[in-house]
Amino acid sequence: MANVRVAGTGVTPFGASPERTGRDLFAEASIEAFEDSDVPRDDVEAVFYGNFMGELAEHQGHQGPLMAEAAGVQAPATRFESACASSGAAVREAVTRIRTGENDVLLVGGAERMTNLGTAGATEALAIAADDLWEVRAGMTFPGAYALMAQAYFDAFGGDREDLAAIAVKNHENALPNENAQYQRAIEVGDVLEAPPVSEPLGLYDACPISDGASALVLTSEDYAEEHDLETPVAITGTGQGGDRMALHDREHLARSPAAREAGAEAYADAGIDASDVDIAEVHDCFTIAEVLALEALDLEPIGEGISAARDGRTTADGELPVNLSGGLKAKGHPVGATGASQIAEITMLLAGTHPNSDYVADATTGVAHNAGGTVASALVHVLEVVA
Alpha helices, DSSP H only, in 114-160?
118-126, 142-157
**Least separation in angstroms between CB 65 and its own copies:** 4
Of the pair 61, 118, the CB lying nearest its own copies is at 61
Sequence-separated (6 or more) residues with CB below 8 Å from residue 317: 170, 173, 174, 325, 357, 360
What are the CA-CA distances from residue 71 to residues 8, 25, 104, 121 (Å)?
A: 14, 10, 18, 28
Helix (H/G/I), strand (E/B), else coil: 297: helix
Measure the CA–CA gap between 231 and 319, rounded to whole angstroms: 30
**Least separation in angstroms between CB 51 and its own copies:** 8
**Maximum Cα–Cα distance for the chain, whole Å?**
56
Asked if residues 325 and 280 have their Cβ atoms less than 8 Å apart, the reply is yes
Strand duo 197-199 + 213-221: pairing? unpaired
- The β-bridge partners of 110 are 50, 215
Query: What is the helix (H) or strand (E) element at residue 96, kind and residue range?
Result: helix 86-99
Asked if residues 80 and 49 have their Cβ atoms less than 8 Å apart, the reply is yes
**370 assigned to active site:** no
List residues near its own copies by CB under 8 A.
21, 46-47, 52-53, 55-56, 58-62, 64-66, 68-69, 74-83, 89, 93, 96-97, 100-102, 127-133, 136, 241-246, 250, 259, 262-263, 373-374, 377-378
Of the pair 77, 181, the CB lying nearest its own copies is at 77
Of the pair 225, 260, the CB lying nearest its own copies is at 260
Work out the end-to-end distance of the chain between its first and last CA atoms, rounded to an integer number of angstroms.
16
Helix (H/G/I), strand (E/B), else coil: 253: coil
The CA R_g of the chain, rounded to the nearest whole Å, is 19
**Least separation in angstroms between CB 250 and its own copies:** 8
Per the residue annotation, which of 172, 208, 284, 334 is the catalytic one?
334
**Least separation in angstroms between CB 335 and its own copies:** 15
**Least separation in angstroms between CB 166 and its own copies:** 30
**62 assigned to active site:** no
Measure the CA–CA gap between 346 and 283, rounded to whole angstroms: 11
**Least separation in angstroms between CB 128 and its own copies:** 4
Considering only CA atoms, which of 274, 123, 143 is closest in space to residue 196? 143
Of the pair 5, 99, the CB lying nearest its own copies is at 99
Of the pair 314, 334, the CB lying nearest its own copies is at 334
Of the pair 78, 123, the CB lying nearest its own copies is at 78
Measure the CA–CA gap between 337 and 112, rounded to whole angstroms: 5
Asked if residues 327 and 172 have their Cβ atoms less than 8 Å apart, the reply is yes
Of the pair 260, 307, the CB lying nearest its own copies is at 260
Which residues have a catalytic role annotated? 84, 334
